[in-house]
Amino acid sequence: MTHKVRLILARHGQTDWNAQRRFQGKTDVPLNEAGLNEAKALAERLKNWPFDVIYASPLSRALKTAQIISEVNVNGGSIKVCNELEEMGFGIWEKLSIHEVIKNFPGQYEAWKDDPSKMIPPGGESFKEIIGRVKPVLEDILNGQNREVLVVAHGGVIRAIVASLLGLSPSGIWHMRLDNCGLVGLVCKDEQASLLFWNDALHLHVPFELIDKLPIL
């Protein structure tokens, strides 16, 4: 890659399971009313950013967020759905709340939170597997012709992308908070990536009519 790619990563809006602190993983849970409003605020924030393409997870909470963004974006932002961007699988933890996992699987949640590359939820995916799964998408983004790229996906997948690009440890990246509809920005050039910002969610905390005044970079 010799050209510069500006890469924005966006987490999807809230679902009922997010609000209940349940593991969603590959379970297709839709946006709730709050999540739809978050996605609209995110779309307002990004409407003047001329994305060449939007990559999106096929799970409805991410795809719907991407569609809301695309509908108002100055470029329209054609959407490329990639199965590789599905959230990491949490196996038998899916549908359970964090409290239920801690109660029913003593010590496992703490071990996973400390380093998801070493402790895998029963029937789930390791963080290493997620990094391998998203690699073809990253290669497509970095070696393609697009210069302004948006990825709408999930917390685990976004962490895998950033960890892969920046060479960060799995344990370190999981200690970085990422809110629903939070933004992560990177610039990639000459096989190197630089982090511009992490978890920018100002658009969720100002009046809607002021959102388009907020900067992106």
Catalytic residue ranges? 12, 87
Binding annotation: 11-18, 61
Partners of 53 in the beta sheet?
A: 149
Q: Contact, 35 vs 14, CB < 8 A?
A: yes
Three-class DSSP labels, 43-102 = HHHHCCCCCCEEEECCCHHHHHHHHHHHHHCCCCCCEEECHHHCCCCCHHHCCCEHHHHH
Rounded to 5 degrees, φ, ψ at 7 are -115, 120
Residue with tokens 């949490």: 90
Binding annotation for substrate: 11-18, 61
Parallel, antiparallel, or unpaired for β 192-200 and 183-189?
A: antiparallel
Dig out the tokens for 76 from the structure: 């329209």
Amino acid at 70: S
